[in-house]
Amino acid sequence: MRTRLLALALLLVVTTGASSRRTDVNIVVIVNSANVTNALARAKVAQIFLRQVGSWENGTEILPVDQIERSPAHIAFVRTVLGQSVSTVKRYWQERIFSGNESPPPDRVTDADVLTYVRSNPGAIGYVVAGTDLGAGIKVLVIP
């Protein structure tokens, strides 16, 4: 029994360590290249993804797109841009949904899926792992 507990504790430490290393990715925030915005404050990006701001300065609807909860890009985005933990953001959305207020941004599985969404929607904003080949129709925002 003692050996099993020790093995379980070791597995938990190894799994936790692997999980934290996966979040050591850098991300870039992207918009459709038709968007005139070139830079946004980190706090403004957070407001957009928490759906506290709904339109760009020119009146175009903002269409944030997220990545799936377990993706390294999502974990890094939540930590570095939202300044929260994944569980805190999940709880935020559960409360918003339960109260009938709002639903979270749609999520996509891969960076390529996010790029496709942003490229297809002029008001879109998303994020991908830094170094991803962005291709045409995408612009990286400066986040001072």
Domain locations along the chain: 25-140
DSSP state of 81: I
E strand or H helix at 139: strand 138-140
* C-beta separation of 51 from 105 below 8 A: yes
CA nearest neighbour of 128 among 83, 36, 41, 65: 65
Q: How does pLDDT run across 67-116, given as a tens digit for each residue?
A: 999 999 999 999 999 999 999 999 999 999 998 878 999 999 999 999 99
Please determine, for residue 8, whether its predicted confidence score (pLDDT) is greater than 70.
no
d(CA 61, CA 137): 18
pLDDT at 100: 86
pLDDT for res 10: 31
**Residue listed under structure tokens 């903002």:** 62
The pLDDT, as a whole number, for residue 142 is 96
Q: What is the pLDDT of residue 21?
A: 42
pLDDT tier at 7, thresholds 50, 70, 90: very low
Token pair 């959305």: residue: 93
- Taking residues 12-24, report their average pLDDT: 41
Q: Where are the alpha helices (DSSP H) in the chain?
A: 2-22, 42-49, 72-77, 86-98, 111-120
CATH 3.40.190.10 fits 25-140, yes or no: yes
Per-residue pLDDT of 27-79, as tens digits, reads 999 999 999 999 999 999 999 999 999 999 999 999 999 999 999 999 999 99
